[in-house]
A and B are shown apart, each in its own frame.
Chain A
Amino acid sequence: MDTPGRAPDTHLDGGALFRAHASFAAGFLRRLGVEAAELDDAVQEVFLIAHRRGGFVVEAAQPTTWLAEIALRVASGLRRSRRRRDGTAAAAPAPESGATPFEALAAAESLARVQQALDTLSLEHRAVFILFEIEGASCESIAAGMGIPLGTVYSRLHAARRGFQDAHARLADEAPAAARPGARKEAV
């Protein structure tokens, strides 16, 4: 059944999705634990699935949360195959370029802590946490994009936050004081 009144330009085909959201998908996949060596194929896979589904029609979800659901499935498949292979963990995404060396180091340490804390979460909890806390998506968009009730988003987010905060606190305690973000002003 067609949706009455749907504007024709609210449809994004695979190519348009790729242009606009490949960076998002790549970053999301890396945070889900996809290794750098797997990233290219994984991104291709996400958008080929999106293409097979006929692209995206802007309705309740956003393209990013819709793609995130696909990416979660791809990451889950990769994780299963990797676990069978060797079980290595993914490295943190590379920090942005353009900062001073010290800022780059501090950013890299931050990203590493975030990634390590994320790695303690289940994929489902991790996905919701990333989308809400890092990508800035709304809970409603996450629910619509991932195909879960809003209450489930809240409950996953609640559990994910608890796990993330616990893990982050442990990691921050382990980090040497000089490497913590608050110490960076001394060197700039």
Chain B
Amino acid sequence: MSKGPPLRLRDDPTAGRALREDLARASAGAFAGYDVAAGLAKFEKTVGAGGPGRGGGAATAGGKTLLGAALKGALLGVAALGGAAVIGDRSPTPVSTLAAPVASAVAPAKLAGEVRSTPPPVAVAEPPPTPRSLETTRPRVVDLPAPSGAGSASSTEPAPPPEPPAVVVAPAATPAPEGDPLAAEMAQLARARVAQDRDPAAALALTEEGSRLFPRGLFAQEREAIAIVALFRIGRVPEGRARGQAFLAAYPRSSFAERVGKLTAGGATLHR
């Protein structure tokens, strides 16, 4: 019987060097080709405009009926699911991965009207939510050999390349928003995001500017998270901790809460 998680190919010395290097590169860093702020604005507009609401309770990890509907039962029947999942060690970190330019995201309008009461634009069969009573079923672990040798699944991420100072974003003052305030806020926030890894002081200044320009803005939460990370990065730990605690009190369920909580609790263990 095989024990332990399979070894990832990029950590497997028996795999070819080129393959390991390619996979390590593919694994390094988050995908930066999507403008999260623009996408989020579009998503919230759709949902807020009467988009599809909750379909009868929160979905959970069980979901045994979901894939069955999607894949027409190929390979699967009603296999039991669940189990003690270990968090994927590469879940995107909300604050540090949002570095795409705003200008690239154009929001096609067609989706907003379609999703209110009709199926999605792509043909995806959406099964009903999984009954909670089925979700707690534990997995039947099939005794199959692991694909590779048993060993640690931990991976060594390649060190990020040195950061050229030439691309540091200067905290230049953003003119007062004109026209679409949402677009202006997104553009301003995008500058803070871009700056946060390379120049946290500039990122902090941009978040403060954003708070001034958009006191009732949509992205205050994200702006504050960027500011907190920046404060830790530039060594203003007590202030960062205080604002982190206030953030956690104000947004305990925020998707940034985990990272802010770690910073606030641990202090200086920053990683990109």
Contacts and interface: CB of A to CB of B under 8 A. Distances in A.
Q: B interface, by DSSP: helix, strand, loop or mixed?
A: loop
A98 B161 contact: yes
Nearest to B23: A133
Contacts of B19: 165, 168-169, 172
A140 B54 CA distance: 27
A57 to B, nearest CB: 4
Contacts of B174: none
A56 B140 contact: no
Contacts of A155: 144
B5 interface: yes
Q: A interface, by DSSP: helix, strand, loop or mixed?
A: helix
Contacts of B164: 98, 100
A103 B124 contact: no
B23 A22 contact: no
B83 A19 contact: no
B67 interface: yes
B55 interface: yes
B217 to A, nearest CB: 14
A22 B86 contact: no
Contacts of A168: 16, 18-19, 22
Given A48-B43, A60-B61, A165-B19, A30 B124 contact: no
A182 B16 CA distance: 12
B108 A41 contact: yes
Contact of A154 (B33, B124, B135, B147): B147
A131 to B, nearest CB: 7
A33 interface: no
Nearest to B259: A20
A89 interface: no
Contact of A14 (B23, B47, B68, B222): B47
Given A22-B36, A144-B139, A161-B148, 19 more contacts: A3-B135, A9-B252, A15-B43, A26-B39, A27-B34, A53-B54, A56-B60, A65-B85, A103-B161, A124-B71, A136-B90, A144-B61, A148-B76, A149-B139, A151-B142, A151-B143, A154-B6, A154-B147, A168-B16
13 contacts: A19-B94, A23-B92, A42-B122, A43-B34, A48-B46, A52-B53, A69-B70, A73-B124, A77-B120, A111-B26, A147-B81, A150-B142, A154-B147
Interface of A: 1-3, 8-9, 11-12, 14-24, 26-28, 30, 36, 39-45, 47-66, 69, 72-74, 76-78, 80-81, 93-100, 103, 106-107, 110-111, 113-114, 124, 131-141, 143-152, 154-155, 157-158, 161, 165, 168-169, 172, 180-182
